[in-house]
Amino acid sequence: MSRIGKKPVPVPAGVTANVTGQLVKIKGAKGELSFEVPDDVSVALENGAIAVQPRSQSKRARSLWGTSRARINNLVVGTTAGFEKKLEINGVGYKAAVAGKVLKLSLGYSHDIDYEIPAGISIVTPKPTEIVVSGIDKQVVGQTAAEIREYRGPEPYKGKGVKYAGEFIFRKEGKKK
């Protein structure tokens, strides 16, 4: 029994929810998002909340039950508050700057990296060593942050590179004589 799936997703005031068949559309102050619920799960709008139930007791239906509820909840949270990921840059000369729709990264390579900012995502750099990725779709925000981090992930010896804010980097000891 899914503990998350059992709870209905409350629809707050100012948010419009529309369930047509397996398609859930949520419209809020920040924008509009939709999610196609898998056929193994039934979804219904009742009493100002979206309820999700498995159609059968198969392993696939039970596993998609909680996932579908979480995805619908992410739509509601995204259209009301939005999501954001913070990245930190460590290293001498490593920096980032936003120029129009391009994020310019200097990460110790012989060239600067130009990252095209995807639609629906906003990136700001309050400091040259800090990047804030924000948007209404949790998956796209996380994917964008992961792609930026991938250019120069943190290394374990000096901790140089791009890391998530609050991420712990397991440090290794260098060579000994």
Span 9-40, pLDDT tens digits: 999 988 999 999 889 999 999 999 999 999 99
Q: Could you tell me the pLDDT band of residue 131, with boundaries at 50, 70 and 90?
A: very high
Q: Could you tell me the pLDDT band of residue 6, with boundaries at 50, 70 and 90?
A: confident
Architecture of the structural domain at 3-80: Alpha-Beta Complex (3.90)
| Angle formed at CA 28 by CA 25 and CA 34, multiple of 5 degrees | 20
pLDDT on residue 175: 86
The yes or no reply on domain 83-164 and CATH 3.90.930.12 is yes
Domain residue spans of the chain: 3-80, 83-164
pLDDT on residue 112: 93
DSSP conformation letters of 108-174: SSSS-EEEEPPTTEEEE-SSTTEEEEEES-HHHHHHHHHHHHHTTPPPTTT--EEEETTPPPPP---
* pLDDT at residue 121 is higher than 90: yes
Q: What is the CB-side half-sphere exposure of residue 77 using CA atoms within 13 A?
A: 13
Do the domains 3-80 and 83-164 sit in the same CATH topology, yes or no? yes
Identify which of 108, 150, 141, 104 has the alpha carbon closest to the alpha carbon of residue 125.
104
Span 142-155, pLDDT tens digits: 999 999 999 999 99
pTM here?
Answer: 0.86
